[in-house]
């Protein structure tokens, strides 16, 4: 059981990490767009 569960947890963790990176990247893009609008 644990041998199968560990890779699954690793995949879930990686997916969550990728989602966080994508979200922070989107926020950075929005920040740049707003900065350009202000300038």
Predicted pLDDT at 14: 86
* HSE value, Cβ hemisphere, 13 Å, CA-based, for 33: 6
Separation between Cα atoms, residue 33 and residue 10, nearest integer Å: 35
Reported as a single tens digit per residue, the pLDDT across 1-39 is 566 667 788 888 888 988 888 888 878 778 777 677 766
Predicted pLDDT at 34: 67
Structural tokens at position 13:
């963790």
Predicted pLDDT at 3: 62
Predicted pLDDT at 5: 67
């Amino acid at each position: 059981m644990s041998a199968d569960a560990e890779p699954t947890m690793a995949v879930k963790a990686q997916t969550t990490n990728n989602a966080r990176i994508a979200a922070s990247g989107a926020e950075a893009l929005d920040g740049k767009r707003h900065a350009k609008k202000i300038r």
